[in-house]
Amino acid sequence: MFSMKKHILLVEDDAAFGLMLQKWFGRNGYEATLRYSMKEAQKLLVNQLFHLVLTDLRLPDGDGIQLLQWMRDRKNTLPVIIMTSYGEIQTAVSAIRLGALDYLEKPIVPSILKEKIDQALHLPVKTASRTSSLQPTTDMVMGQSRIALKMYDQIQKVAPTRFSVLILGESGTGKEYIARLIHQQSTRSNKPFIAVDCGSLSRELAPSELFGHLKGSFTSAYEDKTGVFEQAEGGTVFLDEVGNLSYEVQIQLLRTLQEQKVRRVGAATDKKVDVRILAATNENLETAIIEGRFREDLYHRLNEFSLLVPPLRERKEDILLFAEEFLRQANRELDKQVKGFEPTVIYEFENYQWSGNLRELRNLVRRTVLFASSDTITTADLPVLTKPKVNEDFSLYRVNEKEQIENALRVARGNKSKAAQLLQIDRKTLYNKMHQYGITL
């Protein structure tokens, strides 16, 4: 009998993780075949039909990029998504330059995985909103509060234009999701969308990552490299936490916006690019301008249209919608069957300040689903909401934040991701704090 299921080749040498992913695919309506090496994957690709390849970057007998190159050499145009534990933009750009459709950073977030798989297979993406014609690009619901609908109306109006959009909002409000939504509703939706975490770009490597470089232009430039703006040709570049870019890179970015040209590091000529810029920040850029940390002319170029993403505490009508969606995601991810929340929990949710916004709500729901003792979440499952509220910068409990951050970085031996885990904050908050206190490694 003919099967309507999409068949995915999963290449992952970590057996436990691979089996977990295979099971996830089965629960979500896909058929997945698991192989543990590049050689095994190549044998299957010669003899069997697939709709998509999802491969780890590091394999025991090669890597995902080599597998991708092998496929392209044989005119195999299957969409390929690369998984990497390293999350380096350079690696992702190299893979995409060779023909990869996209990349995923481990640990894998199920909602992002589903979004990328659905996009790769051209499947419709489900929306939980019945009041807006916008189609979301992830599992996140749209929201139906008055303030949310106003925001979506603004998105519909600005998306088809060429305006640069500055997306403002607190950390955790979903600014990248909004950027993806703008791209999805634009005339560029069939072209690349590349998100750049500006907080993770070092002063030395940022020009190379964004604009590319020529072989030999600096010590470690062993080959030519295509920057993000060239890679996104015809599409959209999203600059998250744009305020973290160095003053020198801001000058280059301004030139790119004004002239629609980029110049690779070490090059003598420019290259024309057609890219739309979306940027986001949770910092007050006007203050940064006064302090001399951000160029005023760049600010006005980025801010052709500004969009404020409201904090969760200002859209209480949407909290239950988001909580139910995060519950659905957590059930799927953790293989649980929790049905819902008792009324007192909903009351607690709607009267909590949510300083971490959607990120905090999602993490809370996942934890409560993991440890729930029944099929309904009760207030007994919510110890975090009964504790004294921490300050607005999440969980930096000590008064001397600078000293605490320096201690965490010392213990983590300079590993920012580990330091952020020790501090119980997200990585972007750590980058912002380091910038605020002038902490360098």
Arithmetic mean of pLDDT, 27-32:
87
Query: Model confidence over 213-271: pLDDT tens digits?
Result: 677 566 666 677 778 888 889 999 999 999 988 888 899 899 989 888 888 877 778 88
pLDDT of residue 359 exceeding 60: yes
The three-point CA angle 323-328-332 to 5° equals 145
Query: Model confidence over 177-201: pLDDT tens digits?
Result: 899 999 988 989 888 898 888 877 7
The rounded distance, in Å, linking the Cα atoms of 76 and 180 is: 29
- Domain contains 128: no
**Both tokens of residue 1?**
């009998």
- Give the pLDDT band of residue 99 (cuts 50, 70, 90): confident
pLDDT of the residue at 358: 92
- Domain contains 243: yes
pLDDT of residue 125 exceeding 50: no
- Domain contains 217: yes
Give the closest residue to 365 by CA, choosing from 388, 394, 336, 403. Answer: 336
Domains identified in the chain, total number: 4
- Give the pLDDT band of residue 400 (cuts 50, 70, 90): low
- Domain contains 126: no
The rounded distance, in Å, linking the Cα atoms of 131 and 125 is: 16
Assess whether 55 and 80 both reside in one domain.
yes
- Would you say 243 and 290 are in contact if contact means Cβ atoms under 8 Å apart? no
Q: With H, G, I as helix, E, B as strand and everything else as coil, classify residue 93.
A: helix
Cis bond upstream, residue 207 (ω within 30): no
Helix axis angle for 110-120 and 319-334, nearest 10°, is: 80
Q: With H, G, I as helix, E, B as strand and everything else as coil, classify residue 161.
A: coil
The rounded distance, in Å, linking the Cα atoms of 411 and 295 is: 35
CATH number of the CATH domain containing 26: 3.40.50.2300
**Both tokens of residue 109?**
């977030």
Assess whether 362 and 233 both reside in one domain.
no
What is the four-CA torsion angle of 117, 119, 121, 125, rounded to 10 degrees? 90
pLDDT of the residue at 217: 60
b/e for 400-422, b at 16 or more Cβ within 10 A?
Answer: ebeebbeebbeebeeebeebbeb
Assess whether 116 and 196 both reside in one domain.
no
- Domain contains 137: no
pLDDT of the residue at 140: 53
Boundaries of domain holding 57: 7-120
The rounded distance, in Å, linking the Cα atoms of 390 and 360 is: 13
**Both tokens of residue 333?**
């991810």
CATH number of the CATH domain containing 221: 3.40.50.300
Assess whether 179 and 297 both reside in one domain.
yes
Assess whether 297 and 349 both reside in one domain.
no
**Both tokens of residue 426?**
């997200």
Q: Which residue has the tokens 């190299």?
A: 94
- Domain contains 169: yes
Assess whether 201 and 232 both reside in one domain.
yes
Q: Which residue has the tokens 């207030």?
A: 379
Q: Strand pairing partners for 103? A: 82
The rounded distance, in Å, linking the Cα atoms of 92 and 105 is: 9
- Give the pLDDT band of residue 295 (cuts 50, 70, 90): very high
- Would you say 247 and 146 are in contact if contact means Cβ atoms under 8 Å apart? no
pLDDT of residue 13 exceeding 80: yes
Assess whether 198 and 212 both reside in one domain.
yes
Q: With H, G, I as helix, E, B as strand and everything else as coil, classify residue 346.
A: helix
- Would you say 147 and 314 are in contact if contact means Cβ atoms under 8 Å apart? yes
**Both tokens of residue 293?**
């940390």
Query: Model confidence over 415-436: pLDDT tens digits?
Result: 787 787 777 777 777 877 787 7
Assess whether 260 and 239 both reside in one domain.
yes
Assess whether 302 and 338 both reside in one domain.
no
Single-letter amino acid, residue 187: T
Assess whether 370 and 302 both reside in one domain.
no
The two beta strands, 376-377 and 102-105, are: unpaired
pLDDT of the residue at 307: 92
The rounded distance, in Å, linking the Cα atoms of 311 and 98 is: 40
Largest pairwise CA distance in the chain: 68
- Computed from CA positions of residues 425, 277, 285, 138, in that sequence, does the dihedral angle turn out positive or negative? negative
Q: With H, G, I as helix, E, B as strand and everything else as coil, classify residue 13.
A: coil
Q: With H, G, I as helix, E, B as strand and everything else as coil, classify residue 396.
A: coil
- Computed from CA positions of residues 367, 370, 375, 380, in that sequence, does the dihedral angle turn out positive or negative? negative
pLDDT of the residue at 82: 87
Model confidence, pTM: 0.58
- Give the pLDDT band of residue 393 (cuts 50, 70, 90): very low
DSSP state letters, 261-317 = EE--BT-SS-EE---EEEEEESS-HHHHHHTTSS-HHHHHHHTTEEEE---GGG-GG
**Start-to-end CA span in the chain (Å):** 61
Residues 6+ apart with CB under 8 A from 99: 68, 72, 77, 80
Q: Which of the residue ranges 23-37, 59-73, 259-273, 424-438 would you say has the lowest mean pLDDT?
A: 424-438
The three-point CA angle 358-360-366 to 5° equals 100
Question: What is the residue-averaged pLDDT of the chain?
Answer: 81
Query: Model confidence over 312-354: pLDDT tens digits?
Result: 999 988 999 899 889 988 898 888 899 999 988 888 898 888 8
- Give the pLDDT band of residue 398 (cuts 50, 70, 90): very low
Arithmetic mean of pLDDT, 93-109:
74
The two beta strands, 236-240 and 193-197, are: parallel
- Domain contains 138: no
- Domain contains 224: yes
pLDDT of the residue at 319: 92
Assess whether 344 and 212 both reside in one domain.
no
Helices (H), 291-415: 296-302, 319-334, 343-350, 357-371, 383-386, 401-411
pLDDT of residue 53 exceeding 60: yes
